[in-house]
Amino acid sequence: MKNKIQTKKITTYNIENPEQVKQMAVVLKQYIVKNNLSVRIVDKDCVMVEGWQFAGGTMGLFPKIAEIQNLGAGKWMAKAEVVAKDGRVISTGYALCSKEEMKKKSFDDYAILSMAQTRAI
């Protein structure tokens, strides 16, 4: 009796072709929705950081926290970079989180710092 090896066809997309990028976006959205990697906020579906990491990872792009700053009084700033496999920085994002925010007043500093990093990514 011979064992059959099942293989799944891998679809690749040319990111320089707008139509193919559109097709890729549809596939990524389906995966993100199916795997609960988005959340509804103020009547809008927002992708969670895990969803963005998945989408970027499928294209060989990965987030890296490049810098954090304690701005005092429970306020943190984070700088994140999106890095390609070869080490090139593709994009940079900055974000703040503070205990001054309505829902963050009682959070510990580590949680404020973590949220700044998540937002930056």
Of 16, 95, 101, the C-alpha closest to 49 is: 95
Reading the block at residue 108, the tokens are 């510990």
Buried b (16+ CB within 10 A) or exposed e, 20-34: eeeebeeebbeebee
Phi, psi of 107 (to 5 degrees): -75, 145
Confidence of residue 8 (pLDDT cuts 50, 70, 90): low
C-beta separation of 105 from 86 below 8 A: no
Q: First CA to last CA across the chain, in angstroms?
A: 51
pLDDT of residue 84: 94
Query: Does the predicted model carry a pTM greater than 0.85?
Result: no
pLDDT of residue 52: 93
